[in-house]
Structure 1
Amino acid sequence: MLVEPPEDLERLALDRALIAAARARLAAGARGSADADAIALREILHDIPSAERPALRAVLGRIEAATGPALATCGPLSQALAADRWGLIGRPAAEPDQALLTARQGGRALIDLGARPWWGKLLALPMLKVIAALPDDAAGTPRALLVSTEAPGPTGDDRTFWVTDSPASDARIVAALGEAGLIAASLAAGGGLKLFVLTGYVQAEDGRLSNAPGQMSGVIGAAPVY
C-alpha cells in the first residue's frame, strides 16, 4: 500500500516565498549595465558561504538570462559554463565569428579561449568588449570570455584583458609590464598574437601601456572577479 508523504507546511511556505520573490525580481527587469550587476552581486554574495554560492548564482543567473539580451555560445566549455550560469538559453555557434555577430547585433557572445586567437579580432572591432570571463572566481583561470557592445566599467575587483603581437617570450612581456607597474599573466596565444590578463581595471589609454611590448597591442575589455 502506498503511503502518502507527510505535508511539510514550513518548506512549502518557503518555496512559495521563493517563487514570489523570483517573480517580483523578474518584473523589476535588468539593472542596465554589467558593472552595476557585478557590484550588486558582489554585495549580495559577501557573507554567503562558498558551498551555498553555486545554487544562489544559478537562481540569479536565470533571472539575468530572462531579463537580458540574447546569448550565443561557441565551444564546448562555453556551452557548459553558460548552461551552469544562465540555463539552456545560449544559441550554439559553430565559429567565433558567428557568435561575435550576435554580440554586434546587441546580444552577448560567450566564446572558448581555445587555440584560435579570435580574441585578437577585438583589436579591430572597438565596438566589442570583453565584459565577463568564466569561471569568474578569484582562484579560477578564465576559460571563456563574454563579449558585448557594452563598455565595461570598474567594479572594485577586476581583470583586464590585453592583446599584443610582440614576439618576445611571455616572461619578458610580463617583466616589461611589471616594470611599468602592471601585474600580468599569460592566458592564451595563437596566430602570432598573445593574450594576457592584467590585475585590476586598466583603461585602454592607461599611460603604463604606452611603451608595452608589441607593434599592435591593446586592451580588449575587463571582467569582474568574485
Structure 2
Amino acid sequence: MLIEPPADEERLSLERAVAEAARARLAAGPRGSVDGDAIALRAILSGMSLSEKAAVRAVLGRLEAADGRPLIACGALSQVLAADRWGLAARPMSEADQALFAVRDGAARKTRALIDLSARPWWGRLLALPMLKVIAALPDDATGAPRALMVGTEAPGPTGDDRTFWVTDSAWPDARIVEALSQAGLAAEFLSGGGGLKLFVLTGYVQAEDIRLDGAPGGLTGVIGAAPVF
C-alpha cells in the first residue's frame, strides 16, 4: 500500500514565498546599471554564510538571465562558470574575437560575453575597441584570482570594492612593473600575458585617465575595465 508523504506546511509556505518573490522580481525588470546591481547585491549578501551566498546568487543569476540580455560564453571554463551563475542561458562561442564583435554589434540589446583568460591575449584587443569594457570577472570573490572576464558595452562605475584591469606592452619583468606601479601609488598583480602584452589587476577602481598611470611602463597601455569583488 502506498503511503502519502506527510504535509510540510511550513516548508511549503517558504517555497511559495520564494516563488512569489521571484515572480515579483522578474516583473520589476533589470535595475539598469552593472555597478548599481553590484552595490545592491553586496548589501544582500552581507552577513551570509558561503552556502547561503551560493544559493542566493544562483537564484538571482537565473532571474538576471530571464531579462532577455544575450549572454555568450567563450571557452570551456566560461561555459561552466556561466552555467553555475546564470543557468543554461549562455550561447557557447569558440573564438574570443567572434565573441567581442558579437558584443559590439549587439550593443543595443546589451549583449555580454564571458571569455576565458588564456595564453592568447584577446583582452589586448580592448585597447583598440574602446566601446567594449570588462564589467565582471569570475570567480568574483576576494580570495581568488579571476579566470574569466565578462565584456560588455556599458562602462562600469565604482562600487566600493573593485578590481581594475590594465594592459601594457612593457618588456620589463612582471615584478619590476608591479614595483613601478607601487611607487605611483597603485597596488598591482600580474594576471595573464601573451603576444608581447601583459594584463595586470589593480586594486580598487582606477579610471583610464588616472594621473598615477602617467608614465607607467610600456608604450601601448590602458585600462580596459573594472569588476566588482564580493
CA RMSD of aligned residues (A): 0.8
Match of 1:177 among 166, 181, 187: 181
Superposition deviation, residue 110 in structure 1: 0.3
Return the match for 2:133 from 126, 129, 140: 129
Opposite residue 65 of structure 1, the aligned amino acid is A
Deviates more, 1:64-73 or 1:77-86: 64-73
Report Cα offsets for 1:72-120 as digits up to 9, x if no partner: 1100110000000010010000100121122111200000001110000
How far has the Cα of 1:182 moved from its partner?
Answer: 0.2
1:67 counterpart SS class = coil
Is the Cα contact below 8 Å between 1:70 and 1:102 reproduced in 2?
A: no
- Rounded Cα–Cα distance in structure 2 between residues aligned with 1:102 and 1:34: 19
Q: Which letter maps to 1:100?
A: L
Deviates more, 1:213-222 or 1:12-21: 12-21
* Partner SS for 1:63: helix
| 5+ residue gaps, structure 2 | none
SS in 1 for 2:66: helix
Aligned length, in residue pairs: 226
Instruction: Point out the more displaced range, 49-58 or 173-182.
Output: 49-58
Q: Secondary structure of the equivalent of 2:154?
A: coil
Matches of 1:44 and 1:102 in 2, distance apart?
A: 32
Normalised by the length of structure 2, the TM-score is: 0.97
Say if 1:136 and 1:68 are closer, same or farther in 2 by CA, change over 3 A.
Answer: farther
The 5 A counterparts of 1:154-173 are 154-173=158-177
List aligned pairs for 1:68-107, cutoff 5 A: 68-104=68-104, 105-106=106-107, 107=111
What does residue 139 of structure 1 align with? Answer: 143
The runs of 5 or more residues in structure 1 that have no matched partner are none
Name the counterpart of 1:49. Answer: 49
Q: Specify the SS of the correspondent of 2:205.
A: coil
Q: Give the whole-Å Cα distance in 1 for the aligned partners of 2:48 and 2:22.
A: 19
SS in 1 for 2:170: coil
> 1:83 touches 1:89 (CA, 8 Å); kept in 2?
yes
